[in-house]
């Protein structure tokens, strides 16, 4: 998508953003990205697509607890059944079904437990998103778990970074002055909006009246724009949830004792309503 600025971005590589999921884009931009950040981007993307739903709920910590406590809960969303996850997304989707829900902490704990290593997870993302031609490969890279982009990858990184920086610098002004163009840009970026530093979900409210008519084709997943309504639902406090979840990911070592065992399924529940 051409971005109206002093610099014209016409290279076809920019259009990869409409196809790339945010974890893949992040690896192109920074191959050294830590596992927690990649998982966070994947989780947010699945939430944006309403494959999964996050919300706050008052629950008992265990059956004998006399008090209700507030937890962040993960459930399946309306697109869970029809969505075809990449293999690296299945760490999230295979843990849950339509009759169950998780409290967030044990949900993340189980995901981390199932991932062999950061290096293997990065390779899985690259393979799934058909990005192998942008990364170095070979015996040395494999032996030492080196993860670096090659010359082609550096070219793509430069173009994507410049484009996203340009968007980031102008997105708030664009929403204020040219909301239709801003909406088109955000829908083009899809989950890559999570790579923007200046885009706050509160300001997206201004774009709601400019949403196009939703496709009537139930199987046309990528024409589903109802995630805007999901973000705006005041009961979900979506912006607060993202902030809370980000803190949990960023301090993952404080929450999870991977070497200490523990009850991995202790906060897993079934909902038969």
* Higher local confidence (pLDDT), 155 or 71: 155
Domain contains 7: no
Q: Where are the beta strands (DSSP E) in the chain?
A: 52-59, 69-76, 100-103, 268-270
- The predicted model gives 169-174 an average pLDDT of 90
Domain contains 105: yes
pLDDT of residue 211: 60
Helix (H), strand (E) at residue 104: helix 104-114
Domain contains 79: yes
- The predicted model gives 209-230 an average pLDDT of 51
Tell me how far apart the alpha carbons of residues 64 and 61 are, in angstroms, rounded to a whole number.
8
pLDDT at 75 over 70: yes
Q: Which residues pair with 103 in a beta bridge?
A: 73
Domain contains 44: yes
Quickly count: other Cβ atoms within 10 Å of residue 106's Cβ.
20
Report pTM.
0.78
Q: Which residues pair with 97 in a beta bridge?
A: none
* Domain enclosing residue 187, as ranges: 12-270
Helix (H), strand (E) at residue 231: helix 227-232
Tell me how far apart the alpha carbons of residues 92 and 75 are, in angstroms, rounded to a whole number.
11
Express as a percent the part of the chain with pLDDT over 70. 66
pLDDT of residue 202: 66
pLDDT at 89 over 90: yes
Tell me how far apart the alpha carbons of residues 3 and 189 are, in angstroms, rounded to a whole number.
12
Average model confidence (pLDDT) for the chain? 76
pLDDT of residue 48: 84
Tell me how far apart the alpha carbons of residues 41 and 268 are, in angstroms, rounded to a whole number.
23
pLDDT at 53 over 90: no
What confidence category does residue 3 fall into, taking pLDDT thresholds of 50, 70 and 90? low
Token couple for 160: 């994507």
- The predicted model gives 188-213 an average pLDDT of 75
pLDDT one-digit tens code per residue, 30-48: 999 999 889 989 998 998 8
pLDDT at 199 over 60: yes
* Residue/partner pairs of 218-224 with CB below 8 Å, 24 or more apart: 218/82, 219/82, 221/49, 221/79, 221/82, 221/83, 222/190, 224/49, 224/50, 224/79
What confidence category does residue 260 fall into, taking pLDDT thresholds of 50, 70 and 90? very low
pLDDT one-digit tens code per residue, 97-128: 998 888 888 888 889 889 998 999 999 999 99
Q: Which residues pair with 54 in a beta bridge?
A: 74
Number of independent structural domains in the chain: 1
pLDDT at 140 over 70: no
DSSP string for 71-99: EEEEEE-TTTTT----GGGHHHHTT--TT
Domain contains 1: no
pLDDT of residue 266: 39
pLDDT one-digit tens code per residue, 231-255: 544 454 455 556 666 666 655 545 4
* Higher local confidence (pLDDT), 226 or 249: 249
Tell me how far apart the alpha carbons of residues 75 and 73 are, in angstroms, rounded to a whole number.
7
Domain contains 71: yes
Q: In sequence order, which ranges of 178-196 are alpha helices (DSSP H)?
A: 179-189
Domain contains 4: no
């Amino acid at each position: 998508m051409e971005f109206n600025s002093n610099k014209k971005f016409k290279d076809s590589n920019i259009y990869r953003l409409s196809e790339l999921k945010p974890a893949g884009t992040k690896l192109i931009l920074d191959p050294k990205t830590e596992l927690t950040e990649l998982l966070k981007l994947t989780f947010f993307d699945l939430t944006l697509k309403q494959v999964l739903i996050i919300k706050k709920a008052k629950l008992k910590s265990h059956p004998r607890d006399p008090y209700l406590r507030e937890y962040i809960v993960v459930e399946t969303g309306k697109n869970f059944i029809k969505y075809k996850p990449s293999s690296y997304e299945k760490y999230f989707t295979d843990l849950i079904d339509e009759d169950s829900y998780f409290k967030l902490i044990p949900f993340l704990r189980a995901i981390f437990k199932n991932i062999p290593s950061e290096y293997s997870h990065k390779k899985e993302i690259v393979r799934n998103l058909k990005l192998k031609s942008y990364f170095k490969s070979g015996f040395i890279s494999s032996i030492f778990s080196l993860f670096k982009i090659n010359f082609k990858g550096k070219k793509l990184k430069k173009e994507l970074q410049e484009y996203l920086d340009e968007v980031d610098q102008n997105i708030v002004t664009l929403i204020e002055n040219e909301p239709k163009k801003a909406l088109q840009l955000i829908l083009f970026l899809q989950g890559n909006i999570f790579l923007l530093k200046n885009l706050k979900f509160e300001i997206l409210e201004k774009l709601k009246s400019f949403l196009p008519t939703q496709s009537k084709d139930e199987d046309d997943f990528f024409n589903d724009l109802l995630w805007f309504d999901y973000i705006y639902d005041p009961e979900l406090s979506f912006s607060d949830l993202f902030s809370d979840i980000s803190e949990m990911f960023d301090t993952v070592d404080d929450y999870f004792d991977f070497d200490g065992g523990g009850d991995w399924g202790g906060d897993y529940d079934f909902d038969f309503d």
